[in-house]
Structure 1
Amino acid sequence: MEVSCAFPTALSSPDDIALAEELGYDRAWVYDTPQQSPDVWMTLALAAERTERIGLGPGVLVPSLRHPMVNAAATATLAALAPGRVAIAFGTGFTGRRAMGYRAITWAYMESYLRAYRGLLQGHVVEWEGAQMRMLHPDGHAPARPVDVPILVGALGPKGHEVAKRLGDGLYVTLQLPDFASEYDWVPYLVWGTVLDEGEATGTERVRRTAGPGWALAYHGAYEFGGAEAVRALPGGPEWMDVVERSPGALRHLAVHSGHCVELGEADRAAWDAGGHTMLADVTMSGTPDEIRRRLDEAATRGVTEIVFQPCGPDTRRELERFLDAARP
């Protein structure tokens, strides 16, 4: 299993990716979350200039945020800066859309977008929004077409599975691991968590800062996919909902996604303090080195070929080093 890392696209991400290369990580993915992050493509370009070996890619791009020509041109640019190191993943938009109050895009839209994007990179004339277009970049403005980079699709359900099989070179997975993951040759699986010392309690301040942001996704996901009652069924869920419901309905998504994947928002802190941290091991890749190794072995039997770890907290080096030591003893 390859061991990769992910970053929620901060100003420090290019340097963090250089550190990950130094430590021996295989690939670095960064998020396409413009409501809380610097631009994903600028970040990757800076990382390309600071590294030599590590794979690079957005994980995941949200199609509705950019015209397919914009993403095709950016992909070609990154491929020129980091030849042979680029992979691209697309998703329907969890943070990248829901945190701005939108629902996820449809899979029909995703399929049409991917066909146009792929066609552009191959040098074809494609139709988008009723217009005919092609990449016209002359020499020195982009690599010659075709620009061949692997394209992965983030999918959890049957519709996404169908699109990924038709148009993807792999399956990019987060939140949960679907049964159909074993049908793909390349399956990066994005996880959060922290490596615990023997006997270390889950409710400590260190664990809250390093594993808490990933743990909080259990509440964010339960709310978005199952509604308020799904959240209230979780430890600390009633306290989480009490905070969220103080916000007017039209602004509630701001309270839900505040600090998403970076730090605990007010609702998340309320749930943590109410005992929600007791389910940390169930919803994140947290545990002792031996426990994490066993869970990675289990993930491999279910089709995962690349584990993608997002470090959190003030000591990125510590988190990256400890997780890599656990994954590659």
Structure 2
Amino acid sequence: MDVSCAFPTALDSPDHIALAERLGYHRAWVYDTPQQSPDVWMTLALAADRTERINLGPGVLVPSLRHPMVNAAATATLAALAPGRVAVAFGTGFSGRRAMGYGAVRWAFMESYLRAYRGLLRGETVEWEGARMRMLHPDGHAPARPVDVPILVGALGPKGNKVASELGDGLFATLQTPEFMKDYPWVAFLEWGTVLDEGEPTDSTHARSAAGPGWALSFHGAYEFGGPDAVRALPGGVEWLEVVEKTPEEHRHLTIHSGHCVDLNEADGAAWHAGGNSTLREVTLSGTRAEVRRKIDDYASRGVTEIVFQPCGPDVERELERFLDAAAG
């Protein structure tokens, strides 16, 4: 299994990617979350300039955020800056859309978008929004077409599986492990967590800062996909809802997604201190070195070929080192 990393795109992400290369990580993915991040393509371009070996890619791009020509041109640019090191992942948008108050992209739109995007990279004339277009970049403005870059699709259900199998080179998954993962030769699975010391409790200061942001996704996801009742079923869920429901419904998504994948917001902190941290090992890739290794082996048995770890907390280097050591067994 390849061991890769991911970062919630920040101004220091290029330096963290260079660090990941020195440590031996296979690939670095960065998030397309403009409501809380600098531009994903600018960040990847800087990372390409500061690295030589590590593979790079946006994981995941949200189609509604950019015209397919814009993403095709950006992809071609990155492929020129880091030849042979680029992969691109697309998803329907979790924080990339829900944190701005929108629902997920429809799979019919995703299918049309990917067909147009792939056609542009091949140098074809495609139709989008009633107009015909083609990449017209002269020599020196982009690599010659076709630009061959593998594409992963973030899919968890049957509609997504259909699009991924027809238009993707692999699967980008997180939070759930659908059975159809075993049908793909390349499955990147995004996880959060931390390697705990022997005997370290799940409510330690280190566990909170390093694994808490990933743990909080269990609340964010439960609320978005299952509503308040799904959250109440979680330890600390009542306390989480008490904070969230102070905010008027039309602004509630701003409260929920504040600090997403970076830190615990007020509601997350309330749930953590109310005993919600007891689920840390269940909902994140957290545990002792041996426990983390066993979890990675379990993912491999389900079809995962690339484990993607996002470090959190004040000591990114320590988190990357300890996870890579655990993954190596």
TM-score, scaled relative to structure 1: 1.00
For residues 148-195 of structure 1, give each alpha carbon's deviation from its aligned partner in whole angstroms, at most 9, with x where no partner exists. Answer: 000000011110000000000000001111111000000000000000
- For residue 304 of structure 1, what is the amino acid of its counterpart? V
Other-structure match for 1:133: 133
- For residue 52 of structure 2, what is the amino acid of its counterpart? E
Q: Which runs of 4+ in 1 moved over 6 A?
A: none
Query: What is the DSSP-based 3-state SS (H/G/I as helix, E as strand, rest coil) of the residue aligned with 1:227?
Result: helix
Q: Shift of residue 206 of structure 1?
A: 1.1
* Alpha-carbon separation, structure 2, partners of 1:179 and 1:213: 27
Say what the alpha-carbon RMSD is for the aligned residues: 0.4
* Alpha-carbon separation, structure 1, partners of 2:307 and 2:74: 26
Note the 1:58-137 alignment, pairs <5 A: 58-137=58-137
Note the 1:137-156 alignment, pairs <5 A: 137-156=137-156
Note the 1:94-243 alignment, pairs <5 A: 94-243=94-243
* Alpha-carbon separation, structure 2, partners of 1:232 and 1:254: 20
* Alpha-carbon separation, structure 2, partners of 1:229 and 1:219: 11
For residues 42-98 of structure 1, give each alpha carbon's deviation from its aligned partner in whole angstroms, at most 9, with x where no partner exists. Answer: 000000000000000000000000000000000000000000000000000000000
* Alpha-carbon separation, structure 1, partners of 2:179 and 2:266: 34
* Alpha-carbon separation, structure 2, partners of 1:278 and 1:315: 23
Query: What is the DSSP-based 3-state SS (H/G/I as helix, E as strand, rest coil) of the residue aligned with 2:243?
Result: helix
Q: Shift of residue 244 of structure 1?
A: 0.4
* Alpha-carbon separation, structure 1, partners of 2:231 and 2:200: 27
Other-structure match for 1:318: 318
Query: What is the DSSP-based 3-state SS (H/G/I as helix, E as strand, rest coil) of the residue aligned with 1:173?
Result: strand
For residues 281-303 of structure 1, give each alpha carbon's deviation from its aligned partner in whole angstroms, at most 9, with x where no partner exists. Answer: 00000001111111111110100
* Alpha-carbon separation, structure 2, partners of 1:282 and 1:157: 22
- Identity rate, percent: 77
Q: Shift of residue 33 of structure 1?
A: 0.1
- For residue 202 of structure 2, what is the amino acid of its counterpart? T
* Alpha-carbon separation, structure 1, partners of 2:15 and 2:318: 15
Other-structure match for 1:9: 9
Other-structure match for 1:54: 54
Query: What is the DSSP-based 3-state SS (H/G/I as helix, E as strand, rest coil) of the residue aligned with 2:174?
Result: coil
- For residue 51 of structure 2, what is the amino acid of its counterpart? T
- For residue 27 of structure 1, what is the amino acid of its counterpart? R
- For residue 274 of structure 2, what is the amino acid of its counterpart? A
Aligned residues: 329
- For residue 284 of structure 1, what is the amino acid of its counterpart? T
Query: What is the DSSP-based 3-state SS (H/G/I as helix, E as strand, rest coil) of the residue aligned with 2:293?
Result: helix
Q: Shift of residue 8 of structure 1?
A: 0.3
Q: Shift of residue 101 of structure 1?
A: 0.2
- For residue 172 of structure 1, what is the amino acid of its counterpart? F
Q: Shift of residue 272 of structure 1?
A: 0.1
* Alpha-carbon separation, structure 1, partners of 2:236 and 2:20: 34
Q: Shift of residue 117 of structure 1?
A: 0.2
Other-structure match for 1:298: 298
Note the 1:275-294 alignment, pairs <5 A: 275-294=275-294
- Consecutive unaligned residues of structure 1, counting only runs of 5 or more, are none
Query: What is the DSSP-based 3-state SS (H/G/I as helix, E as strand, rest coil) of the residue aligned with 1:234?
Result: coil
* Alpha-carbon separation, structure 2, partners of 1:84 and 1:232: 47
* Alpha-carbon separation, structure 1, partners of 2:297 and 2:67: 40
- For residue 278 of structure 2, what is the amino acid of its counterpart? T
* Alpha-carbon separation, structure 2, partners of 1:113 and 1:314: 38
Query: What is the DSSP-based 3-state SS (H/G/I as helix, E as strand, rest coil) of the residue aligned with 1:11?
Result: coil
* Alpha-carbon separation, structure 2, partners of 1:176 and 1:212: 18
Q: Shift of residue 205 of structure 1?
A: 1.1
Other-structure match for 1:309: 309
* Alpha-carbon separation, structure 2, partners of 1:307 and 1:286: 14
TM-score, scaled relative to structure 2: 1.00
* Alpha-carbon separation, structure 2, partners of 1:273 and 1:290: 27
Other-structure match for 2:28: 28
